[in-house]
Copies of this chain bind each other. A is one copy, B any other.
Amino acid sequence: MPKIVDHEERRHRLAEAVWTLTLHDGLECVTLRKVAAQAGVSMGQVQHYYATREDMVRDAIHRAVQALNARIESSIKASGSTSAETTLRECLRATLGRDPESLRLLQLSVAVVGKAISEPALAGVLGPGDDELKDFTAGLIAAARQERGTPSRGDGRIDADICWTLATGLGVDVALGQRSPDEALGVLDYHLDNLLG
């Protein structure tokens, strides 16, 4: 029938604008007009794709989390054929914002996490808190120890838990500029050396 455009591309552009504004001015400054201006479109277009401002912000956050998870998973797959230790290190490193785009997404997550306090539904979406990931990581730890010939000890699930909590904590520091990515990497590697050694 009529003019058909790529909705996905439009929403992505708008989400990008929301990201930029959020990082630059904070979430409270994300308004329909500013998003339109940032994206270089009219306010009508924004309204066409999002029923409410809440909808828009929600989608932008959702897309950011997806993009971040995609980067972690691609890190896992990129080092899939090497040793378990390499895979373990690599996927934890993915949370440290070591390239510009990862850093951007990381900062965005931090900028947004506060909303989850007054909006508990958001808490589940953020952060890698699922059991599946922890089991997977616990398996990697066990395998890495076997590679090293280190006897297994302790509770692998808690070890995995600590790895992720530490890595995301380091990531927060990096996002806030309180730590360089390299310094965070050093701390993480130090922990893994102790854990596997």
Contact = CB atoms under 8 A, between A and B. Distances in A.
A119 B114 CA distance: 14
Interface in A21-38: 22-29
Given A118-B24, A166-B165, A178-B129, A190 B154 contact: yes
Interface string A140-172: 000000000000001100100110011011101
Contact of A114 (B29, B114, B120, B168): B114
A27 B119 CA distance: 12
A164 to B, nearest CB: 9
A75 to B, nearest CB: 20
A26 B115 contact: yes
B116 A176 contact: yes
A146 B191 CA distance: 21
A123 B107 CA distance: 12
Interface of A: 22-29, 107-108, 110-120, 123-124, 126-127, 129, 154-155, 158, 161-162, 165-166, 168-170, 172-173, 175-178, 186-187, 190-191, 194
